[in-house]
Amino acid sequence: MQKRQHIVAGNWKMNLSYLEGRDLVREITDRLQPTETLVVLAPPFIHLNNIGNIIHGISNIYLGAQNCHWAEAGAYTGEVSARMLASIEVGFVIIGHSERREYFAETDAMLAQKTDAVLAHNMRPIFCCGEKLDVREAEKQEELVSEQLHSGLFHLSPDAFRQVVIAYEPVWAIGTGKTASPQQAQDMHAFIRQLIAEQYGQDIADATPILYGGSCNPSNARELFQQPDVDGGLIGGASLKAADFLAIVNSF
């Protein structure tokens, strides 16, 4: 089996002033030990350029955006295009976070277009999927995640798909302090990898990083990352503290 990339991405969501963010990034870069894990920092749009300047030239740290629009340019007041993000060296874009799906009514059709826009500008999408609590209680989580991946991602060509990172984030675990158990995470990640294998073949499936997200913290990261199909994490709350975030980065 191919060795897969390990990735830990910090999703700051709508938190931190520029100065707070700058101090956080300085602390992270000062204390980051050499690692093969790719570290992605996804601050709010308005901080991207400045944070990008701080991390410029440091190996293994990449700039991530939390969202983008699907159109190349145009009359979309308040929006940010993939082309703009690529022009300031953003490497990764989070697509379809459950908060975007829930509060901004993002549909699978929009997410497919956003994914295309990200890839067209040579960035890598971190495509989020995951079920809400009622779906998990009805044991329909695999159906739902399969549907999300088929409608948002599986239109891609095999070559394009090689750039994709997937984040499995059970909605009931996000910001709730309630983590999926390592076994629950592993089961879903193995299922997702199987879906990719059916669509694109085993080689691509084996090479695709699948991250877990949802109340991941320094005390549960190691056990989650030890699961054979868990290749890292998409970290919300714990990415706002340098010590916690670095402890997670060092949890492989």
Asked whether the beta carbons of 166 and 209 are under 8 A apart, the reply is yes
Contact between 158 and ligand PGA by CB under 6 A: the answer reads no
Which region among 23-31, 49-57, 168-176, 194-202 touches ligand PGA (by CB under 6 A)?
A: 168-176
Contact between 251 and ligand PGA by CB under 6 A: the answer reads no
Contact between 174 and ligand PGA by CB under 6 A: the answer reads yes
169: annotated active-site residue = yes
Among 215, 221, 232, 242, binds ligand PGA (CB under 6 A): 215
Among 138, 147, 155, 175, binds ligand PGA (CB under 6 A): 175
223 class by beta-carbon count within 10 Å (0-12 exposed, 13-18 middle, 19+ buried): middle
Asked whether the beta carbons of 53 and 27 are under 8 A apart, the reply is no
Query: What residues does 95 pair with on adjacent strands?
Result: 127
CB of 156 to ligand PGA, least distance (A): 22
Nearer to ligand PGA, 141 or 215 (CB): 215
Counted residue by residue, the chain has a size of 252
Asked whether the beta carbons of 234 and 215 are under 8 A apart, the reply is no
| The pair of three-digit structure tokens given for residue 218, joined into one six-digit string | 């320094």
142: annotated active-site residue = no
Nearer to ligand PGA, 115 or 215 (CB): 215
Residue (of 105, 214, 229, 104) closest to 169 by Cα position: 214
CB of 208 to ligand PGA, least distance (A): 18
Contact between 236 and ligand PGA by CB under 6 A: the answer reads yes
Residue (of 65, 41, 168) closest to 114 by Cα position: 65
Buried b (16+ CB within 10 A) or exposed e, 32-60: beebebbbbbbbbbebbeebbebbeeeee
Query: What residues does 65 pair with on adjacent strands?
Result: 93
Binding-site string for ligand PGA from residue 39 to residue 68, where x marks contact by CB under 6 A and - marks none: ------------------------------
Nearer to ligand PGA, 185 or 216 (CB): 216
Q: Cβ of 117: how many Cβ atoms within 10 Å?
A: 22
Catalytic residue among 97, 106, 121, 131: 97
Which region among 25-33, 51-59, 131-139, 233-241 touches ligand PGA (by CB under 6 A)?
A: 233-241
Question: Which residues participate in catalysis according to the annotation?
Answer: 97, 169
Residue numbers at the binding site for ligand PGA (CB under 6 A): 11, 169, 174-175, 213-216, 234-238
